[in-house]
Amino acid sequence: MQVHNRTSGVQLHITSLPAHTLGRDAYRFVDWLHEAGQSWWQVLPLGPPDRYRSPYKAQSAFAAWPGLLADRRAPVSSAEISEFRERERFWIGDWQRFAGRGAVEDQVRFDREWRALREYAAERGVRLYGDLAIYVSPGGADHRSHPQLFRPGVQAGVPPDAFASTGQLWGNPLYDWPRLQRSGYRWWVQRLARTTALFDLARLDHFRGFVAFWEVPAGARTAANGRWRRGPGRALFDAAERALGSGSSAAQGTTLALVAEDLGVITPAVEHLRDELKLPGMIVLQFGFDPGRDDSPHRFANHLEDRVVYTGTHDHDTARGWYESLDAGRRSEVTGLLDTLEITERDPSWALIELTLKSAARTAIIQAQDVLSLGSEARMNAPGTAGGAWRWALERIPPRSRASRLRELTQAAGRLSGG
């Protein structure tokens, strides 16, 4: 998916709105984004979260969380239910059996509220940017309804990295890719169809897992003793393109509106698949100041146009929290780059926002916490930990003064919504 104009947006999950729903605050935030000259509102996965509130272990890969609804009691007609059942027949029966009475009605309500919000946003030049988690929840609706699609005795994770010295033990079920291949990847094709119907663009979480994934024995206490296993590669995306796109993607890449989350242990094979599919990759400003990594794609001088650049994602500290945690050497490197680019802002959050907007990357995404200059107390998630995450929320919609400030920097960087 190619986005040809320079654009920018803000990442804020629905649960981080003051009322945590698709109600009035969501519309007020769209108005704020419009006033700030932003083109994108990025949210996290919309599915029912786990007991730790993680949307990346949702109880369904298809159903939306009723907790996001502004009006759980809104009437639903039999005609609406029938139409929804027909349109979403691949998964709605599985979800109803899992979630019980009222499950279909809640999905109809969500569909109604989401469509209204999306139309309102589109009228104001704001597009909705979603997030598709690669794995499903253990024991969730998909795992129970399609156990044959998952491998027994193993679980998902990632090897030791900068986030965790023993790796990250996610605990999600792992796909039986050969079995999925024999079905023409039907379950995944339907999942991508659902995603592209909801969003104008979607981040494809843990993209490297489609090339090779880290398999950990069930019952392991850490992810350190896992091993790499081969993923489906391009075959999955070709199947989706044939079903959802305009014919074979063999020459042109894919027309699916996706961004490859290519962070972590990235190999040439991962880069090759991303580039072959012509998917934008991701770069994170905070990764660009690692000592001895002059060749890092995250280093500001190495940013490429066909990328989405972030001050930080939901898995990172806020800009201010990160800057305040730096040692003297790395902080000096940051301030040196800011001086070189004539960024004179003293507030580290806004200095790093301006730096991100100046990136060569075609799309820039700012965390809402950074617009408010918040510290580490406002971090959304710390990978490798279970409790205490996913709880941060705005007390109120940011003031208009912050919108004006962001609009000014956005315009100076050539990213203003509407060109």
CA distances (Å), origin 51, targets 59, 127, 156, 383: 10, 30, 18, 16
Which tokens in the block code for residue 207?
Answer: 């993209």
pLDDT at 414: 97
Contact 24, 53 (CB under 8 A): no
pLDDT at 61: 97
Which tokens in the block code for residue 360?
Answer: 């060569």
Q: Please, what's the b/e burial string for 152-161 (b: 16 or more CB within 10 A of its CB; e: otherwise)?
A: eebbbbbbee
Q: Please, what's the b/e burial string for 96-110 (b: 16 or more CB within 10 A of its CB; e: otherwise)?
A: bebbeeebbbbbbbb
For the chain, the domains span: 7-412
Residue whose C-alpha is closest to residue 286's, from 259, 263, 261: 263
Q: Would you tell me the crossing angle of helices 348-357 and 400-412 to the nearest 10 degrees?
A: 40
Q: What is the DSSP letter of 48?
A: P
Residue whose C-alpha is closest to residue 16's, from 360, 318, 396, 293: 396
User: Tens of pLDDT along the chain (419 residues)?
Assistant: 444 589 999 999 999 999 999 999 999 999 999 999 999 999 999 999 998 899 999 999 999 999 999 999 999 999 999 999 999 999 999 999 999 999 999 999 999 999 999 999 999 999 999 999 999 999 999 999 999 999 999 999 999 876 678 888 999 999 999 999 999 999 999 999 999 999 999 999 999 999 999 999 999 999 999 999 999 999 999 999 999 875 433 345 567 899 999 998 899 999 999 999 999 999 999 999 988 788 999 999 999 999 999 999 999 999 999 999 999 999 999 999 999 999 999 999 999 999 999 999 999 999 999 999 999 999 999 886 767 799 999 999 999 999 999 999 999 999 997 65
Q: What is the DSSP letter of 55?
A: G
Is 3.40.50.720 the CATH classification of the domain at 7-412? Answer: no
- The residues, any chain, with a CB within 8 Å of residue 315's CB and separated by 6 or more, are 163, 380, 381, 382, 383
pLDDT at 386: 64
Which tokens in the block code for residue 147?
Answer: 């156990």
Say what the pTM is. 0.94
**Measured between alpha carbons, how far is 350 from 41 in angstroms, rounded to an integer?**
19
pLDDT at 294: 87
The SS3 call for residue 168 is strand
Q: How many residues are there in the chain?
A: 419
Pairing of strands 212-217, 154-158: antiparallel
The SS3 call for residue 127 is strand
* Burial of residue 326 (number of CB atoms within 10 Å: 0-12, 13-18, 19+): middle
pLDDT at 4: 58
Residues with catalytic roles: 205, 261, 315
Residue whose C-alpha is closest to residue 87's, from 190, 240, 237, 241: 190
